[in-house]
Structure 1
Amino acid sequence: MSQASLPFDFRSATASSEPRVVDDHAEVDALFSLLEDDDCRCILDATDGVARSASELSEACDLPLSTTYRKLDPLVDAGLLSKRLRISRSGTHTAEYERTVDDVTVSVTPSGVEVRVSHRDVAQSASVTA
């Protein structure tokens, strides 16, 4: 399944108390494409409240590291994951990812399908590890 790019920058809609209504057909299709992918859903589940590196996600989801990286970029671009830098006192720095959405709701209305995305507040700063 190919990952369509999203024409809207979902990151600008994060941390809002009101869900964002996605009404553009291309955006809805791209979002559904990500959410129907088993690997992307595993990554979203594994990053619920826990920031993880690509290696940690690869292990948690039993995916090759190359596949993990290929899935992470569209999830970050869609605003479903945040990406930040994990700074280690040893001098090695690693990107880590955390889920930014609480809920995606699909409703059928008289005017068509309505998709609402509820974002959570996720810190965008670097974290420090020992």
Structure 2
Amino acid sequence: MSQSQMARATRQDDAEETVTTTESVQGVLDALDDEECRAILEATKQESLTAAEISEECDLPSSTAYRKIDLLDDADLLTEELRIRRSGKHVSEYACAIDDVTLSVGDSGVELSVSHTEPAVTDLANPFAD
């Protein structure tokens, strides 16, 4: 199990996170407001993809894909895992980390609730797929 999967498994008990700091709320809203970021979240919802695969799937230049991946990762909307290859050329792959986002405005200010996805099941019988 990768570090990212362990982090998600640890977070599983607290699958919903409430974001209240202005900077964090703005980071999530900025990422969700970006059409290319939304396309990446949709593309990585069913399967983890490398940056090159995201670039191809979403029809984005590589540099743009990496910038958007960083934006999504900073907002905790995307997770990064390591794809192990027999060749030794391991590569990062990314997966959508959220199921639901809810914005609330109340007496205590703006709150953003983010429901994180369940950790993906790893094929432990064949960790060197490829």
Q: TM-score range by the shorter chain?
A: 0.7 to 0.9
What value does the CA root-mean-square deviation take over the aligned residues?
A: 2.5
Q: Deviations over 1:32-90 (max 9, x none)?
A: 11110111111111110310000110011110011101111121222211111111123
Write the letter of the residue equivalent to 1:128: F
- Kept after mapping to 1: 8 A contact 2:72/2:78: yes
Alignment counterpart, residue 50 of structure 2, candidates 36, 48, 53? 53
2:102/2:113 contact within 8 Å kept: yes
Secondary structure at the aligned position of 2:128 is classed as strand
Corresponding residue of 1:105:
102
- Structure with the higher helix share, 1 or 2: 2
Hey, what's the Cα distance between the residues in 1 that align with 2:128 and 2:76?
23
Structure 2 residue aligned with 1:118 = 115
What is the CA–CA distance in structure 2 between the aligned matches of 1:16 and 1:43, rounded to whole Å?
A: 26
Counterpart selection for 1:86 from 83, 88, 104: 83
- Identity across the alignment (%): 44
- Taking the TM superposition and a 5 Å limit, the aligned residue runs for 1:1-130 are 14-123=11-120, 128-130=128-130
Mapped to 2, the partners of 1:97 and 1:112 lie a distance apart of: 32
In the superposition, the TM-score normalised over structure 1's length comes to 0.78
CA distance in structure 1 between the partners assigned to 2:104 and 2:66 by the alignment: 32
AA matched with 2:17: R
Contact 2:79-2:96 at 8 Å conserved across structures: yes
Q: Distance in 2 between matches of 1:93 and 1:18?
A: 29
What residue ranges of structure 1 are gaps of 5+ in the alignment?
1-10
TM-score normalised per structure 2: 0.78
**Separation in structure 2 between the aligned mates of residue 17 and residue 90 of structure 1, nearest angstrom:** 37
Q: Secondary structure at the match of 1:114?
A: strand
